């Protein structure tokens, strides 16, 4: 593996700041890696070579002139292709936006620019962020760098694969029900979903507006702390953005939490969990305990996960989430009508209704269509109270469960996913089984909490296992510090797949 792409973001930033490495040199190292591995991984929708080279040249010139550099100066970063950029395309991996060029740049990406980052490309995703495997993309199916016959997770699978295969130093993803954390677990990287409102959603193409949140995917916890500090903060252009200051997460991340109380949710450790993952999480809890942390059992009754005699999983949280998310998707995607922008189905069309219908039928993939139809149904007259309003009440009960749990502990520890990465095509014919890939993550979005997934090692088949740490609202510093504690006491950090070692 090239020495430059083997560095963390924090290390590479330091090397560029001192002149040991130039921004242009770092970029070319990553472009070389992309040339070599992208045909196998399919992580990018678009590699922004010219834009990236121009930015890197400007960073080098600024350093040579003695001008101050930002904390991410010269760092090649991938951006999920559902975040608007005034350069390149913003497609959401959908035919309906195949040629869309945004007129502005998302706030989170603007903050990357302000910090000196080099946006190297737009990463693939499940269409409109609807999926758990990145197989729903209209462009390609991204492959897991640990085993290219397996999925990278979703919907931020392209972002996670970029970081895992060292095709970018770090990446931004979005998380509506686990779309940062689950692919982070599958690909052996760190993925943080901040508190709802911690990072501006301005310029993020909306899926579930009360659930979506932008966050980083990185090779280790320190890098996640750095990127979170850069992209977090209030934005007047986003009415859901929290008006509160941003902590220096990187400065705090190496400070252990004394007398840390770690809660294990009883409902998450059932027959629904793969035994190997359960053992890995138990070992992690044991390491925390040996390091002086207190392990306590807590209950999240409305997030309980059950398995029947045939192994089928069920959960109040899953049912609640998919009603809320699909209802919001139905509303948000109504704007794609073939008139304002996006794909327009004009061939043999008579009248505006047929234009709308043809444009949407040709532009949306089957999973997006499924979610729009189900969301429209739950919001329709006669069903609104029976489904949507009831789901909102369950959502409040889920939030109350977390509030009570945090009276007994500082952070919650649980699996990120019930399994490791599954094979491509394994679950595409069974959408309900696919939805359950996020069974441990969706309740965090329903409650608006921060959660981070970190790798805890490999399973018997050599695939990464992810562990999730969840905290109260705006406790990003605490969960990052707890995650960093695990890296130190376990030595499990910066996992590199074989494909990226040669």
pLDDT at 308: 66
Is 402 part of any domain?
A: no
pLDDT digits (tens, 9 = 90+) for 294-306: 999 999 999 987 7
- What would the mean pLDDT of 157-178 be, rounded to a whole number? 98
Computed over its alpha carbons, how large is the radius of gyration of the chain?
21
The set of catalytic residues is 80, 155, 179
Asked whether residue 472 is assigned to any structural domain, the reply reads: yes
416 pLDDT more than 80: yes
Q: What is the mean pLDDT of residues 83-91?
A: 98
Per-residue tokens: 279: 């053992």
In the chain, DSSP finds a helix count (H) and a strand count (E) of 16, 13
Mean pLDDT confidence for 480-501: 97
**pLDDT on residue 376:** 96
Is 319 part of a structural domain of the chain?
A: no
pLDDT of residue 307: 66
Give the single-character DSSP code of 44. E
Q: How far apart are alpha carbons 252 and 153 in whole angstroms?
A: 30
Q: What's the whole-number average pLDDT of the chain?
A: 95
Q: What is the pTM of this model?
A: 0.97
Distance of CA 254 to the CA centre of its chain: 23
- Predicted pLDDT of residue 2: 67
Q: How confident is the model at residue 309 (pLDDT cuts 50, 70, 90)?
A: low
DSSP calls for 452-491: EEEEEEE-TTS-EEEEEEE-STT-HHHHHHHHHHHHHHH-
Q: Does the pLDDT of residue 435 top 90, yes or no?
A: no
pLDDT of residue 468: 98
**How far apart are alpha carbons 364 and 425 in whole angstroms?**
20
Count how many domains the chain has.
1
Q: What does the pLDDT read at residue 369?
A: 96
> In this structure, is residue 408 part of a structural domain?
no
Do residues 254 and 394 touch, judged by C-beta distance below 8 A? no
Is the pLDDT confidence value at 329 over 80?
A: yes
pLDDT band at 338 (very low <50, low <70, confident <90, very high): confident
Percent of the chain at pLDDT above 70? 98
Q: What percent of the chain has pLDDT over 90?
A: 88
For residue 347, is it within any domain?
Answer: no
The pLDDT score that the predictor gives to residue 339 is 85
Residue 316 domain-assigned (yes or no): no
Measured over the CA atoms of residue 101, residue 106, residue 108 and residue 114, the dihedral's sign is positive
For residue 424, is it within any domain?
no
Please, which residues bridge with residue 218 across strands?
A: 190
* Phi, psi dihedrals of residue 359, rounded to the nearest 5°: -60, -45
Range with the lowest mean pLDDT among 217-226, 250-259, 352-361, 367-376?
352-361
What's the token pair of residue 273? Answer: 């969990």
Residue 75 lies in a domain: yes
- Lowest mean per-residue pLDDT among 231-240, 336-345, 447-456: 336-345
For residue 313, name the pLDDT band (cuts at 50, 70, 90). Answer: low
The span from the CA of 43 to the CA of 199, in Å, is 24
Range of the domain at 170: 9-260+452-500
Q: Give me the CATH number covering residue 236.
A: 3.90.1300.10
Question: Closest Cα partner for 160 from 130, 138, 178, 186?
Answer: 186
CA distance 381 to 384: 6
């Amino acid at each position: 593996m090239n020495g430059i792409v083997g560095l963390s973001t924090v290390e590479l930033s330091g090397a560029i700041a001192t002149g040991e490495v130039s921004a242009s040199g770092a970029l070319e190292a990553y472009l070389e890696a992309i040339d070599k591995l992208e045909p196998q991984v399919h992580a990018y929708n678009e590699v922004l070579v010219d834009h990236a080279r121009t930015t890197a040249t400007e960073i080098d010139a600024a350093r040579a002139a003695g001008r101050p550099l930002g904390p991410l100066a010269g760092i090649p970063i991938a951006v999920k292709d559902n975040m608007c950029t005034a350069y390149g395309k913003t497609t959401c991996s959908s035919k309906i936006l195949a040629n869309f060029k945004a007129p502005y740049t998302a706030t989170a990406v603007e903050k990357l620019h302000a910090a000196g980052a080099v946006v190297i490309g737009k990463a693939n995703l499940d269409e409109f962020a609807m999926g758990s495997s990145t197989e729903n993309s209209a462009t390609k199916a991204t492959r897991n760098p640990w085993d290219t016959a397996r999925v990278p997770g979703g919907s931020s699978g392209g972002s996670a694969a970029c970081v895992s295969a060292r095709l970018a130093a770090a990446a931004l993803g979005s998380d509506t029900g686990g779309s940062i954390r689950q692919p982070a677990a599958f690909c052996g990287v760190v993925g943080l979903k901040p508190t709802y409102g911690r990072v501006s959603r301005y310029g993020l193409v909306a899926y579930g507006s009360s659930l979506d949140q932008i966050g980083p995917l990185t090779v280790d916890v320190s890098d996640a702390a750095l990127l979170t500090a850069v992209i977090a903060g209030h934005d007047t252009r986003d009415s859901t953005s929290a008006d509160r200051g941003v902590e220096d997460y990187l400065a705090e991340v190496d400070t252990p939490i004394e007398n840390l109380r770690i809660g294990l949710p009883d409902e998450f450790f059932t027959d629904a969990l793969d035994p190997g993952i359960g053992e890995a999480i138990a070992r992690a809890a044991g390491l925390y305990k040996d390091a002086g942390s207190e392990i306590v059992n807590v209950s999240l009754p409305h997030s309980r996960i059950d398995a029947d005699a045939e192994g089928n999983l069920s959960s109040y949280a899953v049912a609640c989430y998919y009603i809320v998310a699909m209802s919001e998707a139905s509303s948000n995607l109504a704007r794609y009508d073939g008139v304002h922008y996006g794909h327009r189905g004009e061939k043999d069309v008579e009248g505006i209704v047929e234009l709308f219908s043809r444009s949407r039928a040709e532009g949306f993939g089957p999973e997006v269509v499924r979610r729009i139809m189900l969301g429209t149904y739950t919001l329709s007259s006669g069903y609104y109270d029976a489904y949507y309003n009831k789901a909102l009440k369950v959502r409040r009960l889920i939030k109350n469960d977390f509030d009570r749990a945090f009276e007994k502990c500082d952070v919650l520890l649980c699996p990120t996913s019930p399994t490791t990465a599954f094979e491509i095509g394994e679950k595409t014919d069974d959408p309900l089984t696919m939805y359950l890939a996020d069974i441990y993550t969706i309740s965090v979005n329903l409650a608006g909490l921060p959660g981070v997934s970190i790798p805890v090692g490999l399973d018997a088949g050599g695939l990464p296992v992810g562990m999730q740490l969840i905290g109260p609202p705006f406790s990003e510093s605490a969960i990052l510090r707890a995650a960093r504690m695990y890296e130190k006491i376990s030595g499990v950090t910066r996992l590199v797949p074989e494909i990226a070692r040669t």
